[in-house]
Structure 1
Amino acid sequence: MSDNLLELRGVSASYGAIQALSNVSLAVPQGGIVALLGSNGAGKSTTLNAISRLVEARGEVLFEGQSIARLHSDQIVAKGLVQVPEGRQVFKDMSVEENLELGAYLRGNRREAAEDFEQVYAMFPRLKERREQKASTLSGGEQQMLAIGRALMARPRMIMFDEPSMGLSPLLVEQIFEAIRKLNRERGLTILLVEQDVRLALAVADYAYILENGEISVQGPSKQLMDDPAVRRAYLGV
């Protein structure tokens, strides 16, 4: 049996006449952190949305060795694969607590959900302080914490993060990435990370893929890519 929790085999996707992904294959091992990198418009978010069935795609998507390519998005969440979307996408007219409750909507065990509330609040104390506030009143960093907390309420086995540092101050970025490390290290969550900050992503990930024009152009262990002269010139400015 494969050690990979998630695999993509020859995945392609289009928006009308525009080919967004072409024959993308990648693997995310159980308990690992894998980064998916590339410039704007390279197809990173489309890859995550294809996995989550938010866009139509061709090819194989396997989770625990089983195809999920024809499941609905809620069925994929129920299997333990959750996406934290680009731009947070919290429900701004709802309270912090109501947003978190939505993360647990597929689960019927109220006792477990109550435990998860406490775990989320322990990880992000600011959310507990603001639990009755509308999400619209939160800062960008607090909304990112809320989006992560909402994902955790589904008790996932794997989380896909789409640009978690976007629009945040360096201090908040550090806090968010420390939370990602802890989720992997302490809870054993498998992570697929899309991130514009290549240096930051390579520092936290074990392995990385680089997309160019919808195709995988380079892949390898993060340290190897960090030391690759072509990668350094193209993405690290050195």
Structure 2
Amino acid sequence: MPRYALKVEYNGQPFSGWQRQQDLPTVQGAIEAALARLEPRAHTIAGAGRTDAGVHALGQVAQCDMDKDWDPFRLSEALNFHLKPDPVAIVACARVAEDWHARFSAVERRYLFRLVARRAPLTFEKGLVWRVPHGLDLGAMQAGAAHLVGRHDFTTFRSSICQADSPVKTLDALEIEQQPRVDGGTEFRFHVRARSFLHNQVRSFVGTLERVGAGAWDPEQVKTALEARDRAACGPVCPPDGLYLAGVGYPEDPFGGI
């Protein structure tokens, strides 16, 4: 059966996460339903990461196996037609080897978190960014983030329901940038990169670093919390609003750099 890689973009607000669930709307379920319109049978796709309810994606990657030898462009166009009106789009499609796997072939995952500091509630971007009503200190958050980069036991920043075999992970990067906004607020963008992540790890990082930026935590307390290896030492876990699976890296880009 020909195998295809799909680069998927979605707004996670109306979905109960990526993974298919009975009687609940999910991104996986929406794509599998669209595939069934093209080749009527049960379809099972695999994604590079399982995003939670309300989490978005700019570059999720999934795989599907088809009976017919589809032209990749035509397959993406057909899927996009049948995905309407769901806020899901196939932005690229490529034929891949039969042993290629969206999850197990991946060597890197990149997340983006958007946090907006402004007093007024959000209108157009509600659900797409996390708003806090107070200012944040970029330098303090960067100093706190520096303690998290590298190979550590991240038990403190791991959900109690995480199913990973080990809490030890290598965080390759946690970079924070600040951008002024035309609405008078300030946007902070957290760029996080690793081979793999624990459940709620990025949201635990951002929630904790927001407390540092707000002055409630000293940057050194991030190191203390990390070394505690205790979930109770973590700061508040921020909401899914603002979290995006930005991209997935492979030894060879199946989409040719798209």
- TM-score (ref. length: structure 2): 0.24
Question: Per residue, is there more helix in 1 or in 2?
Answer: 1
Larger-Rg structure: 2
- TM-score (ref. length: structure 1): 0.25
